[in-house]
């Protein structure tokens, strides 16, 4: 899938959590019975460096791998962040953190700590606005400011962008992501809506229902139910023979 990624991203110092409200952008509706939101098919994850980024919601279905992605913004408290990172270390699994630039700027120790633990960092805008409501210059600024934070704190190690405030990127957002150096905007195909605090049991049940080979799971720092649920989510993946990997590993060629 990413056979051209290294070429596309060469020379970019730093290149690219999630929709925290509603079903904006035309994504598939949430199931009324399971609470799981399932995204559309992968189209392509390559794009010309000067053109718009491509959107991908999950990895290849013929590989027994999944990625747990976490959104981290300014409201993500340290204690719950520490707890999730400790659980990931205990389970010996990597996660991909779509970080808001303000969150990283507030505590510059976070990025090197997560990278040293084998986790991956990616761009989730600088202030976490409802990106679909902004015009081109504001969208460009949000993407670029977070990109620049990542360039300082994780140089050359951040290749993905995910917009804030909506599930699927608009054509404008794809265009601005491409201008900022991102070949790919990464969505997700399993969303337990943990940011609504439904409780650990609901989160586990929803992920269990939707998890499949190639899945990208959307989760959030800063929520007690997510902290409690996470070890169980890893167990579900293990029981199904699904290896937990980073987004970069999941979307490799």
Task: DSSP letter for 236, please.
Answer: H
Nearest to 19 by CA among 150, 141, 189: 189
Which single residue is written with the structure tokens 């139910």? 225
Q: CA 26, CA 101: separation in Å to the nearest integer?
A: 26
The helix/strand/coil state of 161 is strand
Tokens of 120: 């991956």
Name 196's Cβ contacts closer than 8 Å, sequence gap at least 6: none
Residue 98: how many other CB atoms lie within 10 Å? 30
- List Cβ neighbours of 128 (8 Å cut-off, separation of 6 or more): 20, 73, 74, 100, 102, 164, 165
Q: Which segments of 92-135 does DSSP mark as H helices, in order? A: 101-106, 110-116
Instruction: Give the three-class secondary structure for 89.
Output: helix
Model pLDDT, residue 62? 97
Question: Which structure tokens are listed for 195?
Answer: 């940011």
Per-residue confidence (pLDDT) for residue 9, from 0 to 100: 35
Q: How many CB atoms lie within 10 A of CB 156?
A: 13
Whether the model clears a pTM of 0.85, i.e. scores above it, the answer is no
Structure tokens at 242: 């699904």
Cα Rg of the chain, angstroms? 16
Alpha-carbon distance of 96 to 125, in angstroms, equals 15
Superfamily of domain 5-23+35-250: Glycoside hydrolase/deacetylase (3.20.20.370)
d(CA 47, CA 37): 26
Burial 117-132 (b: 16+ CB within 10 A, else e): eebbbbbbbbbbbebb
What pLDDT sits at residue 253?
86
- Where are the chain's structural domains? 5-23+35-250
Task: Determine the 3-state secondary structure of 56 from DSSP.
Answer: strand
Determine the pLDDT at residue 181.
Answer: 95
Give pLDDT, residue 194. 97
pLDDT recorded at residue 26: 32
Ordered per-residue pLDDT tens for the chain, 253 residues: 443 333 333 333 333 333 443 333 333 333 322 333 333 333 333 444 569 999 999 999 999 999 999 999 988 888 999 999 999 999 999 999 999 999 999 999 999 999 999 999 999 999 999 999 999 999 999 999 999 999 999 998 889 999 999 999 999 999 999 999 999 999 999 999 999 999 999 999 999 999 999 999 999 999 999 999 999 999 999 999 999 999 999 999 8
């Amino acid at each position: 899938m990413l056979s051209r990624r290294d070429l596309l991203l060469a020379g970019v110092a730093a290149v690219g959590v999630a929709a925290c409200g509603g079903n904006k952008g035309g994504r598939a509706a949430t199931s009324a019975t399971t609470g799981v939101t399932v995204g559309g098919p992968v189209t392509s994850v390559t794009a010309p460096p000067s053109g718009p980024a491509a959107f991908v919601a999950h990895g290849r279905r013929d590989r027994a791998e999944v990625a747990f992605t976490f959104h981290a913004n300014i409201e993500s408290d340290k204690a719950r962040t520490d707890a999730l990172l400790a659980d990931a270390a205990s389970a010996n699994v990597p996660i991909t953190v779509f970080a808001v630039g303000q969150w990283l700027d507030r505590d510059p120790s976070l990025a090197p700590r997560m990278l040293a633990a084998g986790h991956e960092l990616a761009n989730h805008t600088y202030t976490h606005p409802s990106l679909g409501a902004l015009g081109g210059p504001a969208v460009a600024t949000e993407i670029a400011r977070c990109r620049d934070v990542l360039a300082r704190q994780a140089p050359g190690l951040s290749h993905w962008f995910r917009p804030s405030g909506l599930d699927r990127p608009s054509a404008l957002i794809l265009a601005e992501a491409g201008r900022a150096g991102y070949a790919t905007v990464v969505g997700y195909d399993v969303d337990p809506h943990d940011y609504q605090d439904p409780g650990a049991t609901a989160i586990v049940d929803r992920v269990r229902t939707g998890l499949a080979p190639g899945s990208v799971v959307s989760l959030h720092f800063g929520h007690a139910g997510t902290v409690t649920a996470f070890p169980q989510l890893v167990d579900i993946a293990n029981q199904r023979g699904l290896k937990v990997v980073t987004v970069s590993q999941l979307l490799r060629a």
